[in-house]
Structure 1
Amino acid sequence: MRFSRRLGKNRATLRKRWPGIEQQSTPLRWLHEHATPWRQTLRALLDEIDTGSHPLPPRLRETTRTLRHALDDTSWQALLDTPEQMRSLLGQLTSTEQDRPAARDAHALLADYDNVSGKASNDQ
């Protein structure tokens, strides 16, 4: 269903009032539709990082704390900043940590998100 129809507005009206709204809404719609697998993958990734044998550097510790806080909120809107945070987190992992299942799943979901967002995936 078209975004304009869901809002109960004429498509032309939306374009006049908010140019580019359909392109801007695609990542939001993706997060809304994929909230459950996104949360599960992110939680699994954070659990794998927390069970690692080495102490976390301060920057990585802060990123994981911020992501855990977003997961505590049950609304999909709490996930809005998590793609960039997940990208940052994945960029800080060692090559061994990158090979873990949750990290691979996170890369795959992030690539799908980037695809619908029109971004080139830099993390693969």
Structure 2
Amino acid sequence: MKKVSKKPSKISKAPPPGWPSEEVVKEFEKKTRKSLVTKLLPPNPGLVEYTKQTLCEHFIRYRRDENITQRELAKRLDVTENRVSEILHYHHQTFTIDRLIELLSRIKPDVRIKVA
């Protein structure tokens, strides 16, 4: 039987071509550490989850169309910036559908909800 020498494999500390450097990654993590991450719908969302997600999309479109900041949207809705951030990042678990509709009607008084 031959003895096989086990040489430790070399691990490169340099990132693969096209990848950001370690410094860039650390700086990004530092900047985004306190940021709220946008939540995605699960593969098979329930009707309530889907409805809340759809309502949140209206706030995002409104903010984009009006070209306003999150702070300005919070003022228009008369809620805190944290609550607006939750809506804009789809963290709607603390909201009821009624509450989202109530808030939406503050910025879009003529909003109509269609149930099919």
| Class of the TM-score when normalised by the shorter of the 2 chains | 0.3 to 0.5
Higher RCO (CA 8 Å, separation ≥ 6 residues): 1
Normalised by the length of structure 2, the TM-score is 0.37
Normalised by the length of structure 1, the TM-score is 0.35
Larger fraction in helix: 1
